[in-house]
Structure 1
Amino acid sequence: MRASRAKRALTCHDPAPTTENRRSDYFGYRVGVRLKFLLRPGWLGLIALVVVFASLCFTLLAPWQFSRSDEAQTRNNAIAESFHAPPKPFAEVLPAGQVPDQRTEWTQVVLRGQYLPEGETLAWQRTVLGEPAFEVLTPFRLDDGTTVLVDRGFIRPVDGTRAPDYAAAPTGDISVTARVRTDEQDSKQRPLFEHDGHRWAYAVNAATISTGTGLALQPGYVVLNDGQPGVLGAMPLPRLESGPYFSYALQWIAFGIMAIIAIGYLMYSELRPDARPAWHNAPADEKSADGPKPVAKSGRRRKMSVAEAIAEEERQEREEEARRKAEAGAPADDAAHQTNNA
């Protein structure tokens, strides 16, 4: 009877988990504990910030700079081609009502007709060759009746805001060669205004000047080449350079990559055990002999790192497991002892 009771006591315990299952559960537990710090509000905010910044770098800022680089390169190619291509009739390049674009801008065209000085307007507050300037805009009526806005060049201001005396546009039928330009845009869409006996515009925009003068102007405008009838100070061409846009795009990509690397390093630093002083691994008697453990400047003990917390939890688990084994082994020993006595 005693032997059968002991046998039942030994077989009542649940089957012990396999080594593989214990390792799997332990690995999952360790991973969960190690990465638990990522759920803190500070880490969540930092991760969100890095994700947003890197996304902006890769999808907005870098592509924007690449597009500006492409625009500069397209402009340079158009200007370079205009030096070698012969001028074309204006109506061939821009039929009536067609708006200039990247394909037609900077193309050299020939205009035949006469200036309309009654619609002359000055462009306000310009900068030419690094100095303040005004630009003189005079409508030009072609032989077919189309009216085009012509930029005759620049003049230097007098007393800051006054226009000097300058040569009037020639009269009669003439032929001029100019380059096509697209309209400028005034973000505030301000109308023309009168100042010092002249009509002024904030931007070289055919629609705005058409509204202010009552003349039906073709979209866009043209800039006279040097030496043409009616030209004042010939407007200089832009330099044939792409600018820093391409390098800026690469920098934004690099910033996005560095942000990801930086947060990865911070995570690694949080998971890595901190460097411990020599007294930490010394025997207990040596620790007490050397004095109390160092504390932070604020008087509190240094906060344990994630690795140290995991090590402490593992130690406690091992102690608990050893205690359970000891408790489980005690009844079995008692049963075996009772069996032997029987």
Structure 2
Amino acid sequence: MYRVLLRPRWLLMLLVVALLVTLFIGLGNWQLSRLETRRAHNAIIEANIDGPPRPVADALTPDQPVEAKAEWQPITATGQYDTEHQLLVRYRPLEGEPGFEILTPLVTTDGSTLLVDRGWVPSGGSANEPSDVPEPPAGDVTVTGRLRLSERGSANQVHPETGQVRFIVVPRIAGWLGTPTYGGFLELTEQVPAAGDSPHLLPAPELDEGPHMGYALQWFLFALIAAVGVVLLAFDEANGGKLRERIRHNR
């Protein structure tokens, strides 16, 4: 009765469905792995973000990368801003509005440099330039903010000598500065003294899990539909198409 399924047309269909089911299950598992990564990231945020600020020299070592488990902890440092090496970070939308983030090196009292993301400004008349770049306070300033890991970006996306970068790749920027530089950067939340005209401070990270669970369930549902569908078609084919005939008759 089921010998009909050995015909080339059916063998090809079964192979295609098997590949699709495998693909859909793989995509579902990929979304679940992304969900676990997101949950682990959220756990780090929850564990670190509300702690007391630590002096940068106690938390970090110049020219050494920051461990992932240390990200988002509050850090404080005192020094003077190096405005000559200030950078604009391109393509940084905030709440749907295009803009830039302002990255200013802070030369700390121990002589090491800490990169400080002072916040966000909107784009101006051109997408290549911000509407305004507020100056940081002159003289000694104490900054507090969230520790961030160096971002990833290829060499052709990070050109600090132009005054703009696409990603905050700390080692690349540190090489351009030529000074001992802490391996992460600071996302500013407070500075003393405060500047009269300041960029918009970046909001704290959201702790949602994203759409990954929903996407995973969709892919698993597609796999189930494909598997059940081919089984029903095979059963009907082996029984002379009675199921299809009954469906047509009931219309």
Specify whether residues 248 and 121 from structure 1 end up closer, same or farther in structure 2 by C-alpha distance, changes over 3 A only.
same
Give the C-alpha shift of residue 67 in structure 1.
2.3
CA-based RMSD: 2.6
C-alpha distance in 1 between matches for 2:236 and 2:148:
57
Hey, which bits of structure 1, 4+ residues long, moved more than 6 A? Answer: none
Matched with 1:248 is: 215
Q: Normalised by the size of structure 2, how large is the TM-score?
A: 0.82
Specify whether residues 144 and 199 from structure 1 end up closer, same or farther in structure 2 by C-alpha distance, changes over 3 A only.
same
Give the C-alpha shift of residue 187 in structure 1.
5.3
The 10-residue stretch of structure 1 (73-82 or 242-251) with the greater mean CA deviation from structure 2: 73-82
- Aligned pairs for 1:32-111 within 5 A: 34-58=1-25, 60-111=26-77
Matched with 1:4 is: none
Structure 1 residues 139-196: Cα deviation after superposition (integer angstroms, max 9, x where no partner): 12233333221100011122123333433222333221110112333357423277xx
Q: Normalised by the size of structure 1, how large is the TM-score?
A: 0.62
Matched with 1:220 is: 184
Structure in which a larger fraction of residues adopt strand: 2
- Aligned pairs for 1:251-270 within 5 A: 251-270=218-237
How many aligned positions are there?
239
Specify whether residues 54 and 114 from structure 1 end up closer, same or farther in structure 2 by C-alpha distance, changes over 3 A only.
same
Q: Which runs of 5+ in 2 are unaligned?
A: 244-251
Secondary structure, in 3 states, of the residue corresponding to 2:29? Answer: helix
Q: Which amino acid aligns with 2:167?
A: A
C-alpha distance in 1 between matches for 2:181 and 2:226:
52
Secondary structure, in 3 states, of the residue corresponding to 1:84? Answer: coil
The 10-residue stretch of structure 1 (87-96 or 256-265) with the greater mean CA deviation from structure 2: 87-96
Query: Is the counterpart of residue 239 in structure 1 residue 239 in structure 2?
Result: no
Give the C-alpha shift of residue 137 in structure 1.
0.4
Specify whether residues 42 and 212 from structure 1 end up closer, same or farther in structure 2 by C-alpha distance, changes over 3 A only.
farther
C-alpha distance in 2 between matches for 1:92 and 1:160:
42
Secondary structure, in 3 states, of the residue corresponding to 2:91? Answer: strand
- Aligned pairs for 1:1-342 within 5 A: 34-58=1-25, 60-161=26-127, 162-186=129-153, 189-192=156-159, 199-226=163-190, 229=194, 232-275=199-242
Specify whether residues 43 and 99 from structure 1 end up closer, same or farther in structure 2 by C-alpha distance, changes over 3 A only.
farther
Structure 1 residues 293-318: Cα deviation after superposition (integer angstroms, max 9, x where no partner): xxxxxxxxxxxxxxxxxxxxxxxxxx
Give the C-alpha shift of residue 113 in structure 1.
2.2
Q: Conserved in 1, the CA contact under 8 Å of 2:118 and 2:187?
A: yes
Structure 1 residues 54-103: Cα deviation after superposition (integer angstroms, max 9, x where no partner): 22333x31222122222332333333344532112223333334423441
Of the two, which has the highest radius of gyration? 1
Q: Which amino acid aligns with 2:185?
A: Y
C-alpha distance in 1 between matches for 2:156 and 2:216:
31
Secondary structure, in 3 states, of the residue corresponding to 1:225? Answer: strand
Matched with 2:247 is: none
Give the C-alpha shift of residue 267 in structure 1.
1.0
Q: Which runs of 5+ in 1 are unaligned?
A: 1-33, 277-342
Q: Which amino acid aligns with 2:142?
A: S
Q: Conserved in 1, the CA contact under 8 Å of 2:45 and 2:72?
A: yes
Secondary structure, in 3 states, of the residue corresponding to 1:85? Answer: coil
Q: Conserved in 1, the CA contact under 8 Å of 2:100 and 2:130?
A: yes
Question: What's the % identity of the aligned pairs?
Answer: 31
